[in-house]
Each structure stands twice: as structure tokens, then as C-alpha cells.
Amino acid sequence: MLSSGTNTQQAARSSHLILCPLTGSSPSDKIVQIPADMFRNPGETAKISCSHSIPDYDRIFWYKQSEHHEMKLLGYMLGDDGYPEKELNVKIDGSANRDKNSTLTVAELSQDSSAIYYC
């Protein structure tokens, strides 16, 4: 889960977020998620950006996939408005419009934050 150069104590304290970009409905429609992956320590904050080039589309949904392959909706953007799921420690801002960035912010990372995140 963590890079091979990490010592045991650091591995016990780190959270690993794997981010997976998806492709659009045609070769010209693209979804870009940045960064591709990241390592953060518990208590830190992670920010993930997503943009797309799909004409006339103004929604971005954010999901988290746990190690048990369960998908959980974290929230979504509709146009310029973010709607995080209640009781989750996430913030969604930016814009879901074409060629704009939507940003998912996950604050106060914990071991439970270690997952694959999708937009």
C-alpha cells in the first residue's frame, strides 16, 4: 500500500490515497483527475482536482472506494455549487462546468481515509 522505501513507523502513520481518472463517453470527452496518487499523514489535508471536456455537462460526482471495494458517494458539484454528503469531513468547491476545476478536500485524514477516490 505504501512505497517500499517507507519505514515501518512511517507506514503505520501514513494514509495512501489512490486517485483514478476515468474517461468520458467519446474519445474527445476527457476527465482529468490530479494528482494521480498521493501520500499524506493522519491529521493532514488532501486536495484532489477534477475537470472534464464534455459539452453541456455541469456535474461532477465524487466517490471513495474502500479496500473492501465498497463505493461511497462523498458528494457532488452542480455547476458552481458543491453538495458534500452530510456528516463527512469533505469540502467540494470550484466548478463542474466544462474545462473548469472541481476540488475535493478531505480534512483531518485518518487510516479510514486510505482509499481510491473517483470523480
Note whether residue 2 is domain-resident: no
Choose among 34, 35, 55: nearest CA to 97: 55
Residue 16: pLDDT band (50, 70, 90) is: low
pTM of the model: 0.77
Residue 12 has pLDDT above 60, yes or no: no
Flag the least confident range among 13-22, 41-50, 66-75, 94-103: 13-22
List pLDDT tens digits, range 99-116. 999 999 999 999 889 999
Total tally of structural domains belonging to the chain: 1
Average of per-residue pLDDT across 77-97? 96
Note whether residue 93 is domain-resident: yes
List pLDDT tens digits, range 24-54. 455 557 899 999 889 899 999 999 999 999 9
Distance (Å, whole) CA 30 – CA 14: 31
Note whether residue 3 is domain-resident: no
CATH number at residue 16: 2.60.40.10
Note whether residue 40 is domain-resident: yes
Note whether residue 114 is domain-resident: yes
Strands 15-20, 115-118: pairing is: parallel
Note whether residue 26 is domain-resident: yes
Note whether residue 29 is domain-resident: yes
Choose among 107, 118, 110: nearest CA to 52: 118
Average of per-residue pLDDT across 46-74? 93
Structural domain containing residue 15: 8-118
Note whether residue 1 is domain-resident: no
